[in-house]
């Protein structure tokens, strides 16, 4: 063992456990890569114009990727590196350094390196960092021809190029990348772009490398989450792919997001590229808003959240799991929200019983239906325990492959015999004809559109009632799942509404509940008018108090 190897072993470095049996760690290859990067110059912030000295976690990645090679060919074992790390940990800088290493130090004739992202502006972030590194280094500037306008670098000794690729560049022919830098893969909306760039396009290259650098996202049906899941499966030993290098810094889903110890564990550059005071400030800001909490979890704890802008604080929601006896609701006034969704989807009818006195709460009683024929297929596909919920009576299965609205009508008829249903609120889009059938049967139907004007005050009402612990939902887990899935989109005026378009999981029950609670709240307010509305204002005169 050489002195340098001994030094690295003392620092805790060992070649990754994902080294294949037919591979070997070549120290001189790892040293060359580290030497190249450590002689670059930082491009921005307080580190601008200072040497790029790799942090331990960065150096470990570089040594693994460039030092582990096949015994016979000495070509790199890893063809894809997936690095998922929170914001502010220097992702763009290390990605830019890797791009320049592949361009100038990989001995690849006519190398082609591309920065890819959802949009050209995003792809240009890494490129611009690399360009600034070139400008700050007299040696590189001597050998690299660059165009800031065209977002291109050319390494003159080998004819290699590095470009920021436009969003539609994957449709062009002749691209043969030896290196790909994919920035913020979690935001990639076009899976074909990723697949075209990474699958087979570098087949003519000796050792092509795709270097993915990203934070966590929220779309669990995206190519970003697909790669995240692959990385996690490899890390957990559920999957083997010797060509894929996984490195994920993230907090567990059930982690205490206020725990500073956890912040330090998942932010490997904390104390170097940013301070603990910055995180403390971000945390304090996030405690006032569920949306900001979601952003903190995603950006600083690197957790894959369920939506881009979380609507409900689930801790506050869980505080309202007050139990109630359904039998005691018989005959009581209630208001219903109906969300038919699709005939093959979840149909939801949620009843809201307004309080009868000051000690009572707004009681939530949900009813859900799902087709029986594809139940088990949906459990397997969606990873949601619909079958268990059906067994627990939390949802009802209907015969066939679609929801038959005649069944729902009969169900509502039975509910009307138990409770005094004053209104049924519904979204006319997609439910007009069924609403007309119910109206013809004598049910009081209320048209309830899903725009900002209607939904914003309703959602804010429900949020306020939740924060004040004035609702009781009994801890229904199916309803909780849908509330947790809710994404609130926001217009420039600050109004909100459920964002059904970006919802990656079902929210039908949450939407139905919002309508039901709003109608119950509005009608309850009318029934309990202010004393000033009924008797006028009492004033004082020389003759005493008068009305």
Question: What tens digit of pLDDT does each residue of 398-457 get?
Answer: 888 888 888 888 999 999 999 999 999 998 887 778 888 888 888 899 999 888 889 989
Q: Which of 278, 308, 279, 280 is nearest to 294 (CA)?
A: 308
pLDDT at 540 over 60: no
pLDDT for 541 beyond 60 = no
10, pLDDT greater than 50 = no
Condensed to tens digits (0 to 9), the pLDDT of residues 188-223 reads 877 888 888 887 666 678 899 999 999 998 778 889
* Segment 287-319, tens digit of pLDDT: 866 767 877 898 999 999 765 566 888 888 999
- The β-bridge relationship of strands 80-84 and 244-248 is parallel
Q: Is the dihedral of CA 205, 207, 213, 216 positive or negative?
A: positive
Enumerate domains of the chain plus CATH numbers: 77-248 (3.40.50.300), 260-305 (no CATH), 317-527 (3.30.420.240)
Alpha helices in 136-170 (DSSP H): 138-143
Q: Rounded mean pLDDT of the chain?
A: 86
Highest mean pLDDT among 103-107, 332-336, 487-491: 332-336
Residue 383: exposure state from Cβ atoms within 10 A (0-12, 13-18, ≥19): exposed
pLDDT in tens, 57-97: 999 999 999 999 999 999 999 999 999 999 999 999 999 99
- Supply the pLDDT for residue 383: 80
- Of 128, 138, 110, 179, whose CA–CA distance to 40 is shortest? 138
H-run or E-run covering 388: helix 386-391
**pTM given for the model:** 0.62
Average pLDDT over residues 489-512: 76
Tokens describing residue 41: 């110059």
Give the pLDDT of residue 537. 37
């Amino acid at each position: 063992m050489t002195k340098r190897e001994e030094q690295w072993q003392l620092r805790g470095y060992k070649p990754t456990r994902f080294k294949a049996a037919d591979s070997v760690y070549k120290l001189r290859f790892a040293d060359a890569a580290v030497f190249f990067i450590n002689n670059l110059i930082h491009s921005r912030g307080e580190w601008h114009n200072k040497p790029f000295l790799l942090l331990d976690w960065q150096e470990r990645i570089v040594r693994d990727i460039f030092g582990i090679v096949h015994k016979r060919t000495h070509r790199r074992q890893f063809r894809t590196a997936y690095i998922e790390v929170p914001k502010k940990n220097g992702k763009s800088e290390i990605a830019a350094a890797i791009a320049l290493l592949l361009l100038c130090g990989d001995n690849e004739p006519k190398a082609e390196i591309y920065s890819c992202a959802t949009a050209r502006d995003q792809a240009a972030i890494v490129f611009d960092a690399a360009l600034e590194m070139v400008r700050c280094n007299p040696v590189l500037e001597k050998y690299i021809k660059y165009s800031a306008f065209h977002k291109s670098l050319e390494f003159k000794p080998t004819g290699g190029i590095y470009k920021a690729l436009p969003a539609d560049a994957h449709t062009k022919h002749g691209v043969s990348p030896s290196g790909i830098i994919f920035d913020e893969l979690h935001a990639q909306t076009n899976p074909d772009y990723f697949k075209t760039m990474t699958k087979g396009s570098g087949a003519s290259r000796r050792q092509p490398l795709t270097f993915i650098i990203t934070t966590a996202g929220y779309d669990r049906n995206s190519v970003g989450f697909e790669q995240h899941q692959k990385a996690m499966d490899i890390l957990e030993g559920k999957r083997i792919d010797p060509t894929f290098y996984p490195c994920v810094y993230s907090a567990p889903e059930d982690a205490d997001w206020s725990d500073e110890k956890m912040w330090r564990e998942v932010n490997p550059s904390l104390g170097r590229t940013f301070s603990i005071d910055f995180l403390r400030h971000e945390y304090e800001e996030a405690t006032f808003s569920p949306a900001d909490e979601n952003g903190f979890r995603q950006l600083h704890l690197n957790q894959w959240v369920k939506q881009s802008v979380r609507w409900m604080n689930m801790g506050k929601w869980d505080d309202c799991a007050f139990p109630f006896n359904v039998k005691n609701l018989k005959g009581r006034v209630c208001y219903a929200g109906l969300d038919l969704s699709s005939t093959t989807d979840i149909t939801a009818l949620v009843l809201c019983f307004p309080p009868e006195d000051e000690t009572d709460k707004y009681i939530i009683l949900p009813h859900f239906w799902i087709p029986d024929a594809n139940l088990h297929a949906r459990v397997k596909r969606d990873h949601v325990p619909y079958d268990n919920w059906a067994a627990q009576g939390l949802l009802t299965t209907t015969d066939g492959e679609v929801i038959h609205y005649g069944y729902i009508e009969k169900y509502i008829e039975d509910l009307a015999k138990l409770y005094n249903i004053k209104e049924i609120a519904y979204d006319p889009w997609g439910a007009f004809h069924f609403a007309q059938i119910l109206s013809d049967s004598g049910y009081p139907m209320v048209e309830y559109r899903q725009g900002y004007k209607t939904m914003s005050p309703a959602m804010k009402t429900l949020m306020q009632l939740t924060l004040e612990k004035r609702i009781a939902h009994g801890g229904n887990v199916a309803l909780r799942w849908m509330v947790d899935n809710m994404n609130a989109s926001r217009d420039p005026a600050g109004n909100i509404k459920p964002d059904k378009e970006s919802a990656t999981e079902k929210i039908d029950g949450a939407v139905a509940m919002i309508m039901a609670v709003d109608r119950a709240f509005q009608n309850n307010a009318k029934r309990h008018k202010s004393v000033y509305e009924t008797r006028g204002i009492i004033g004082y005169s020389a003759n005493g108090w008068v009305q």
